[in-house]
Structure 1
Amino acid sequence: MAEAGLDEFRRRWREELALREGPAKRRRSGEGPAGAAREPEQVSQRGAPAQPPGCLLEGGECPLAPPPPRTAEELSCPSGERVPQTPEAPQPEHPESAGGDRLLEQLIRDLNEINEIPFFDIQLPYELAVKIFQYLGRAELGRCAQVSRTWKVLAEDEVLWYTLCQQEGYLPGTSISDCSCWKLVFQESRAKEHTLRTNWKNRNGAVSQLQYELGKVLCDVHSCDGVVIAGYTSGDVRLWDTRTWDYTAPILEPMHGAAEPGSQPLVSFVRINNSLAVAAYEDGTVNVWSLMIGRDPVHCYQHNLRIQALALSLEGATIATASGFEVRVECPNEKGYWETAAHFEVQKMVNFLHLIPDAGRHPVAVAAAEDVVYLLKADNPSRVLHSVYGQPVTCLDVSSKEAAFGVKSLGWMNEGNKVLLYSLQTSQCLTTLGSSLGDFTCVNLRNSPPHLLVTGNKDRRVRVYDLRNSASLCSLYAHQLGVSAVQMDDWKIVSGGEEGLVCVWDQRMGNKLWEMHARHPVRHVWFNTHSLITANIPDEKSPRGASILDDDLTAHRRHRGIIYAYEFSMDQLAPESVLPICRSSYDEVAGYNYNIGLAVPYDNI
């Protein structure tokens, strides 16, 4: 059927060319003898005469002389072939008719090679053209789509836009067959990202307070992907899922034996990842819960002394605890039974402890014990990464390949407090950052963009460093006391201070977007593209009003600590979920509102 349609198109094309050359034959029949000069046509002032069909199809200029007549034998011959002329009657060759034949041959070749993409004067296969277009960005693909219809089809290929979506981080883990139009998905994701950034800058969103019943003072808070875990002085450990507002926070049951209610030790540390929740208590007990099973612990072990530090791997089931002069690493074996993977003895008390992500089969931990930093790897003896007598470590954070920690300088040769960056593979110092009079109280390397590092200092400043040239990109000042928690992404910074102030900064412009204030120091800050979680944890664990038997409940509300959950993506709010403003009881003095700026209407008097 396709061949018959192509032959019919060729026949009708030749007939149309023959019909258009008919008037030219009749005009040439009235010419004089051969060699006589022909008067040129008079061109009126309004315009030139119409071009012959051959020149019009070829795209050239119109000649003054009409083309010579073509015989029926020439019309009946295949395109591209010339009828041999006899020497007795030579006929001049006319470029106009030859141009029409070339255009017809080019059209027929384009129809036969319809699966090839014309790149000006080159013919490329479609797959090779897509391979070339994969090196272009979204702006270049938009310009190429305006060249021609063929290039528009090529620039809107699903493979190209699926690759762009994966590079930008939109819908990770999906396959190309999951969506029918990946260009539309890319445009919607870009529009959503722009809306989220506008909501972040203008402080438009919903805010919720993750509260607990009276008589419980907040001890420690941690979060992962919107799931929050909190420990209290009563020994209770509670979970919240901020991704759904109608989620009921469960209480994780401890494993302390047959103890009376209210006699449980207070919670020292809590940690959570995608599969596990861990809590360390004041008496040295460590409970491990599985988020997939239930409220009962799946593992429990005991230290003889109080636990100074607790670490949980970002992915997987590896736990590290430090108590006294020992560091213990627990993880399940191949059969799923929990066991002690490594046990280390250090010379000093551990202050900070982190597990290196993506360490492989054997877990690797980094511990800071006063002025010594240890690199602890299972099945290997402990190794000293850094040690300078009289210069204690004030903060610590690790990534998969590097470790960053703040060092306090003491003595008569005080060169200023610095941040050191070490390579975990070579155990060598890569760079030295800053020289501040105040102590570095927090550092964030794991969540920072590539080649960037954000720190908080007791001199009330937030600093961003470029690891490539050890230079300070910006220094932000708004806190009245020292900075206690900090995190950044590619365009914004969120910092928390000892005075309870949470500040959101525009990292590129270097200005403060907005702030929120609470009573207690900010000990935990976590955010992603659409949500923010902050925790104000009191330093005093037994204030007035902390007991349920006290009458002054207002004093207790002021001293128990609070967790805030901000949501900036309005389309994430399910319409069937119960809104926070509807969950508020009539006896609550604090309410909720969509606009965070109206949550505290009297912050500026």
Structure 2
Amino acid sequence: MSTPAPDFDQQLTGSPPPPPTPAASPGPTHAQPDWSDAADDEDFFLAQVRQHFQHCSGPHRNRILADLLNMCTTQQLSFVHQFVSPLLKKDPFTSLPDELCLRILSFIDDPKVLARASQVSRRWRDLLSDDVTWKNLCVKHDYGRRLSEVAYGVPAYTPNRPGALPISDPDFTNRSFPGALPCSSASGAPRSFDNTTNSTVFGRPKLRSYKSHFKQRYLVESAWRTGGRNTTRTITQDGRVVTSLHLTPRYIVVALDNARIHIFDRDGNALRTLQGHIMGVWAMVPWDDVLVSGGCDRDVRVWDMANGHCLHTLRGHTSTVRCLKMSDANTAISGSRDTTLRVWDIRTGVCRNVLVGHQASVRCLEIKGDIVVSGSYDATAKIWSISEGRCLHTLSGHFSQIYAIAFDGLRVVTGSLDTSVRVWDAHTGVTSLQFDDTRVVSGGSDGRVKVWDVKTGQPVRELITAESVWRVVFEDEKSQLLVWPVHALTQILGAKIST
């Protein structure tokens, strides 16, 4: 018996149909005999038969049934089959212990099947309300929680609510990503998704069940595939080039090459225009109601978007400010075509530090905690300590300008005009690797090429040491390395090196 799935299960399309829905538990409705033509004394006779059958032993009952069935026609046997089959059905979840039932349910990966199964009976629904099942499903679908959910859009804490687990559960630590909003303000108060202090979160953390979390993530993923609508509207009337765009929980912020910055509400209605730059604005970053911008006039400006006032004009760069990021509510970092990065205190308007090391324009940067990574037209990326004001690593390997960079706290990803995207280890600088079923060969800016065992993760040997390794490729019997300043060919089996 098929049962309809909940609304959120119907959002995802393009996937194979789920397995058949489990049949409902047997109810009182099954094949019944027709008493319309029964004689007056038939009920009295059957009462005597029932009384006799009730007092019979097991073997005696079997003989009576066998004798009666042997006398039945095919049609009558079919009626017996229809009458008996529902009585023989048994719901295994009514007799198995909860732990075993939940273990069985843990092997189901399709949320549609689980949602439909919860409609089979109250017992099934109670089992599928256990949050551990949905927690495991969140893990399987990689629906990890983010710290922004602690104070944004989650129900209030209820101590005795069944299935409620803390969002700070260690199995769902924050999945950091480039541009993620910090989870605390300068005052130490928790922040909501829009990065504003939320006083309602003091005292104890808000909780959310894994089932509701999975449903929300499932709906969001489904909407990305098939939902939403396309709305086209022209909101800038300047007719100029848009150089930078940001969408915040409150504003749409647009910078143009005519030195103006327009602020709109989320529906695209104009709120105000920020004027103060005298040349094109090429970089900006919002934080709450604060906006930091920079451009061709070499200035970095700090704005209050609520009233449109310029709070500070930060001067020091000698060329166009090309990129901007903020590490916290008080600290902004700018990258310029003058090859430097500058660390600013936007409360006081003071430059805390100047990071020097690039040989060409700084095109992009990203921040996580005390670490900032920058990409430059000199084809290198650098990893800096903000507090120490020094370069920790130089990532060399690209052959052309670096235009894009991402950083998650562990890995640096750089995109270059040389058509390659490179993934780097932020702590060691590993720059290139290749792997097959048994081994990994890695090379880095430290000039070391290592062979690793895939199964154990342990190093097998070190092949070569050079000034810097840019590229590693290998076949079954040979590895070829592109190193600086020479090309080296390494024969793995014979360990023969020729230049």
TM-score by length of 1: 0.35
* The structure with more radius of gyration: 1
